[in-house]
Copies of this chain bind each other. A is one copy, B any other.
Amino acid sequence: MALIPRLDIAALDAQLVDPLTKGLPFNAPALRLGDIGAQGWNVLEGDVPMPVAVIRQARVEANSAWMAAFTQGNGLVIAPHGKTTMAPYLFDLQIADGAWAITVATVQQMQVCRHFGVCRVLMANQPIGQQAVNACFAALADREFELYCLVDGEEGLRQLAEGAGRAQPPAGNPLRVLVEVGFPGGRTGARTPETALALARKIAATEGLALAGFECFEGLLPAPEAVDELLDVVADLTRQAIAEGLLPSSGPVIISAGGSAFFDRVGERFNAHDFPAPVLRVLRSGCYLTHDCMGYAAAFERICQQTRLTLPPGGLVPALEVWAQVQSVPEARRALLSMGKRDVGFDAGLPIPQYWYRPGSAMEEPQPIPPGYKTAALNDQHCHLELPQGSELQVGDLVGFGIGHPCTTFDRWSLLLAVDEDYNVLKAVKTFF
């Protein structure tokens, strides 16, 4: 398995930041991204406006290292889903820790990867339409760039075959195609093993395309048992396709699954199968990097309790927080904070108040917020916080919130701030949504 080189972070560091960007101090001069860490800002001391999205750098690095150890220790590789963060700085961390590729959902996301030097992309989607198909083949003209994408049906394959005919990708750099295997009521993906295998045969016979393997997205399934079944279908199809000689000997054979909530099942089931050729077992998890304190936290707890795989010491910890300031305490049991739907995800649960800090007070560091505080509602720009009886929360206090589903908090920010454990700003993490 070839590692991929790290990214052109110097080009990113050199980008000028628009001073109008949300999250920057209002009096900030025009700065390059790479200059922000040297400004001496501290999130708790009033140097940056509220709300602000904060990445705890040590925790993100620990999560990245943990997942690297987990995958390496269990016969897996990871192609982290880049759509979660869309942050080349974070892609680079993942690559430094041995990511096999970066996964994306769209052509725009692939272009961001290419721009900053990701040389292997797994597009976990079927490109549709001439715009998208042409862009995929145009990317292959760079022989250093490898692209994997999905096909789940005849029409998708027809469009790729036509695209290959138009573009004629260079010999040795075909569009690598995984057949997507789905399930009734699910998302994309061929609905039966038979149709998936028929697609694989056609891909293998199409000039400019190379069958690379099979994959599934199991994340919408309700329970581990159903996940196992789907993973076994993917593995069985792969074995059969190898046996039929559909997979070229030139590239690796891939089996892949989403893996954010069920990465244990992916490892266990994929490892349970023997194949007549070397096979790369590719996880595409994106959310592990910042983790969360809701759904993924619960999923990880289940994994820790149930898995028979080897878990490295430590574990995933929440690394993404949104901090907001108390604007008003108009009733004894209700405060309004400067954070709304524009600033934090709410599709997997309202943000959870976790820390409390009073700037300029004797408080040396953020305190765990006492019991009884609860997010009652979010408006576009406000958070309604329920307070326990006798709450001492005051106008001007800062509250740090834990989040669920990192994807829908990252995409609210074009700049997040990476901080050390004292909330000193280490750098600005730019996103490209």
Q: Which residues of A contact B (CB under 8 A)?
A: 19-22, 25-27, 46-50, 83, 105-108, 111-112, 115, 125-126, 128-132, 134-135, 138, 152-153, 155-156, 159, 182, 184-191, 220, 325-331, 334, 336, 338, 340-342, 346-347, 359, 379-382, 384, 394-396, 407-408, 411-412, 414, 432-433
Contacts and interface: CB of A to CB of B under 8 A. Distances in A.
A85 B129 CA distance: 29
Given A328-B156, A330-B189, A22 B131 contact: no
A386 B46 CA distance: 49
A382 B187 contact: yes
Q: Main SS of the interface on chain A?
A: loop
A111 B49 CA distance: 13
A112 B384 CA distance: 26
Contacts of A50: 129, 131-132
A315 to B, nearest CB: 25
Contacts of A414: 414, 433
Contact of A327 (B25, B126, B326): B126
B129 A49 contact: yes
A382 B182 CA distance: 14
B408 A107 contact: no
A20 B106 CA distance: 12
B20 A395 contact: no
Given A328-B126, A338-B128, A407-B380, A396 B159 contact: yes
B107 A330 contact: no
Given A106-B338, A130-B46, A433-B342, A184 B331 contact: yes
13 contacts: A20-B108, A26-B111, A26-B138, A48-B131, A83-B381, A105-B340, A128-B325, A128-B396, A152-B330, A153-B330, A156-B395, A187-B336, A188-B336
Given A26-B107, A46-B129, A412-B433, 16 more contacts: A20-B108, A21-B108, A26-B111, A26-B138, A49-B131, A83-B380, A105-B381, A128-B396, A129-B325, A153-B395, A159-B396, A182-B330, A186-B330, A188-B327, A189-B330, A191-B331
Chain copies in the assembled complex: 2
Contact of A49 (B107, B346, B384, B396): B107
Contacts of A396: 128-129, 155, 159
Nearest to A106: B381
B188 A108 contact: no
Contacts of A184: 331
Contact of A411 (B128, B152, B188, B342): B342
Contacts of A83: 342, 380-381
Given A46-B131, A328-B156, A411 B412 contact: yes
Nearest 10 A/B pairs, CB to CB: A155-B395, A26-B135, A105-B381, A188-B328, A49-B131, A188-B336, A22-B108, A128-B327, A380-B407, A20-B112
Which of A26, A135, A407: most chain B Cβ within 10 A? A26
A107 to B, nearest CB: 6
